[in-house]
Amino acid sequence: MRLWLRLVVIAAAASWAAVAAYVIRLAGAGAPAALAALAFVCFFGGFAALYDRVAVTVTPDGFVFRTLFRRVQVRPEEILNVRVVRAIGGTLYAVLTRRGLFRFSSLFAQHRELLELLVQRARLRPC
């Protein structure tokens, strides 16, 4: 993921953690305010963990797709299809392999180059 996005999300999580600490220590604030602030801490903290963990690594033997909960190495001949969906919010890429479906978006740095490399090594055409 792009470094600036990681930093913004980490800053948001830290800011909401400070707000949550303030609200919890504030005598007049009720439990709903504290729970709402903690919910934002969890939301941004979860995305910070996600953005830190998700990656596609190019290796001499193929590609390593890493998500929050799994890491799978895929050889180019195991890639069955690459689908590209362009939308207002960005471009989404779906890579269908014999080991499962992996997705990434234009939030990834050098996503166009990664697409070209996936298609070239797997000898496919993007749909």
Residue 27 pLDDT > 70, yes or no? Answer: no
* Range(s) of the domain holding residue 76: 68-122
Residue 40 has a pLDDT of 94
Domain count, the chain: 2
The DSSP line for 23-41 is: HHH-TT--HHHHHHHHHHH
Mean pLDDT of 38-46: 93
Average pLDDT taken over every residue of the chain: 88
Residue 90 shares a structural domain with residue 46:
no
Task: Please give the model's pTM, rounded to 2 decimal places.
Answer: 0.73
Interstrand relation of 79-87 and 90-97 (parallel, antiparallel or unpaired): antiparallel
Residue 95 has a pLDDT of 93
- Domain assignment present for 95: yes
